[in-house]
Amino acid sequence: MSRKRFDDMNCGVAQALDQVGDWWTLLIVRDAFFGSTRFAQFEESLGIAKNILSDRLRKLVDHQVLSKERLDEPGNRFEYRLTEKGRDLWIVLTAMRLWSDKWVFGRDKAPLVVAEQDTGRALTALLAVGEDGKPVDPSKLEWRAGPGATSKS
């Protein structure tokens, strides 16, 4: 009767959820993007219980989304940093943020704006593109079996 895991589903969505879909996990990753590196920082910023934070950090390190390094500081100190795999999650976070800006807050009440440093241009959308870098039409997409397809999508 253990909680079902999704890692046996041959589907990218299920795999992503299996690695970062746990309650709290994506918020920890978001906090890492905001600059948190220490246990106490995550704890304070999120208001998460220590045991749960400990568990989630361990799983994130196991999945190589975060790295854990001992610091050259007095005491038993560590820092957690996003790996390249972890940094690649910014698109997932951005997609969620844009969706909420549109459907939960309303676009003119967004609590957070992401903009290019030098030009100040705000990031307002994600565009689906093909290998050639040109946009594909989202309304005309179809799902096909890929090279690693078995049964379930």
* Residue 39 near a second copy by CB under 8 A: no
CB under 8 A: which stretch of 36-44, 54-62, 68-76, 113-121 binds a second copy?
Answer: 113-121
* Residue 99 near a second copy by CB under 8 A: yes
Least Cα distance to 25 among 74, 1, 59 occurs for 59
Beta bridge partners of 81: 67
Taking the complex as a whole, the smallest distance from the CB of residue 117 to a second copy amounts, in Å, to 5
Contact assessment for residue 22 and residue 59, using Cβ atoms and an 8 Å cutoff: yes
**Sole binder of a second copy in the list 3, 51, 73, 75 (CB under 8 A):** 3
Distance, first Cα to last Cα, the chain:
25
Residues that bind DNA (CB under 7 A): 1-4, 22-24, 38-40, 47-52, 54-55, 57-58, 68, 71, 74-79
The owner of tokens 């970062």 is: 20
Encoding tokens for residue 136? 């594909």
* Residue 130 near a second copy by CB under 8 A: yes
Length of the chain: 153
